[in-house]
């Protein structure tokens, strides 16, 4: 035990099967084919990515599918440098909000293909407004990780 007073471990572990539903199933199938799909709301005309079953603003079904190119602009970014239990990746790594061309929202993903050993080195390559492009994973599993990361486009 790590504490100076008496404690007990209480590990909670459970298995899950989360339903993707038709829209997200198709979105992830698209990633497998190196295509990023968004959906367009016919009411407010916004294109959202990842694809959505319904428009979060208009509450209407989003039935029009749009193929999104793999390029976009960094809206915000952070170098994650702390560790926590269950973390998805060994720090340091870069997370970013990326506004893909032709969409009206930001996609959250990693930025890679750059030297992340120091914050200064990251700042040299990544800023708000930096153009980035998608880097696909060679091995694909129809998951968000089919996109390995985004990298500077220039």
Partner 1 sequence: MGRAVAIIGTGQTKHGNRREVSYPELVREAVMAAFEDAGITPRDIDGVVSGTMPSMMEGISLTHLSFADALCQVGKPILKVETCGSTGQSLGHCGYYWVASGMADVVLVVGHEKMLEGDSQATMTTVTDPFFHKTFAAGAPGVFTMQAMEWMYRFKVDEEKARDAAALISVSNHDNALDNPYAHIRMRITVDDVKNAKIITYPVRLLDVCPNSDGACAVIFAARGKAEKLCRKPAWIKGLGFRGDEFFYGESDKSVWASATSAAKEAYDMAGIKDPLTELDVAEIYNPFTYQEMIFYECFGLCPRGEAPDYVLKGTFTKDGVLPCDPSGGTLCTNPIGATGLIRLAEAALQVTGKAGDRQVEGAKLALSHAMGGTDQFNGVTIVGSEL
Partner 2 sequence: MRRVAMASVAQSSGIESKDTLMDFTFWVAREALAKAGLSRDELGCVIIGSSDIFHSGLSCSNSYDWDGTGAFMKDGSRAEESIFAFIYGCMRIMSGEFDTVLVTSLVKGSENPDNDTCTSFFADPFYLRPVGMNETAAAALQMREYMHRYGVTEEQCARVVVKNLGNALFNPNAHVRKRVTVGDVLASRLVSDPLKTLECAPKSDGVVSVLLASEDKVKQFTDRPVWLKGYGCAVDHFYPGDRDLLNGTLTTAAAAAYKMAGITDPQKQIDLAEVCEPYAFQELLWCEQLGFCGQGEGGKLIDSGMTAMDGRLPVNPSGGVLAMNPYVSRGMYRIVEAALQIRGQAGEHQVGKEVKTALAHATHGFAGQCHSVVILEG
Partner 3 sequence: MEKPEPRQLKAEVLVPYEVAVGRTWSKFYDALKNERILGTKCGKCRRVFVPPRTFCPRCFQEMEEWVEVGQEGVVETWVLVNMPFYGQRLEIPFVSAEIRLDGSDTGFMHRIAGFNLSDLALVREKVKLGSRVSAVWSEEKEGCILDIDHFKPVQ
For residues 12 and 97, what is the distance between their CA atoms, to the nearest angstrom? 32
In the complex, the smallest distance separating the C-beta of residue 32 from partner 1, rounded to whole angstroms, is: 19
Q: Of 40 and 150, which has the nearer Cβ to partner 1?
A: 40
Q: Produce one character per residue of 9-41: b if its CB has 16 or more CB atoms within 10 Å, e if not.
A: eeeeeeeeeeeeeebeeebbebbeeeebbbbbb
In the complex, the smallest distance separating the C-beta of residue 34 from partner 3, rounded to whole angstroms, is: 15
Any contact of residue 11 with partner 3 (CB under 8 A)? yes
How far, in whole angstroms, is CA 30 from its chain's centroid? 15
3-class DSSP assignment, residue 138: coil
Helical (H) or strand (E) element with 121: helix 119-125
Any contact of residue 88 with partner 3 (CB under 8 A)? no
Any contact of residue 81 with partner 3 (CB under 8 A)? no
Any contact of residue 65 with partner 3 (CB under 8 A)? yes
For residues 31 and 98, what is the distance between their CA atoms, to the nearest angstrom? 17
For residues 151 and 133, what is the distance between their CA atoms, to the nearest angstrom? 5
Q: Of 66 and 97, which has the nearer Cβ to partner 3?
A: 66
Contact with partner 3 (CB under 8 A) among 82, 83, 86, 120: 86
Q: Of 17 and 154, which has the nearer Cβ to partner 2?
A: 17
Interface with partner 2 by CB under 8 A: which residues? 5, 7, 10, 12, 16, 18, 20, 24, 28, 48, 50, 56-57, 75-82, 84-89, 93, 95-97, 105-110, 119, 122, 128, 143-145
Interface with partner 1 by CB under 8 A: which residues? 8, 10, 12, 14-24, 53-54, 56-57, 59
Quick one: DSSP state of residue 54? B
């Amino acid at each position: 035990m790590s504490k100076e007073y008496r404690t007990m471990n209480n590990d909670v572990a459970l298995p899950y099967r989360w339903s993707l539903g038709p829209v997200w199933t198709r979105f992830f199938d698209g990633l497998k084919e190196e295509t990023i799909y968004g959906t367009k709301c016919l009411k407010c005309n916004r294109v959202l990515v990842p694809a959505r079953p319904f428009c979060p603003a208009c509450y209407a079904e989003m039935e029009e599918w749009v193929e999104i190119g793999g390029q976009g602009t960094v809206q915000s970014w952070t170098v994650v440098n702390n560790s926590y239990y269950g973390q998805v990746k060994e720090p340091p790594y870069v997370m970013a909000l990326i506004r893909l061309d032709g969409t009206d929202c930001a996609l959250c993903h990693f930025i890679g293909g750059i030297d992340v050993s120091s914050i200064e080195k990251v700042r040299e390559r990544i800023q708000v407004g930096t153009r980035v492009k998608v880097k696909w994973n060679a091995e694909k599993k129809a998951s968000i990780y089919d996109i390995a990361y985004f990298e500077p486009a220039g």
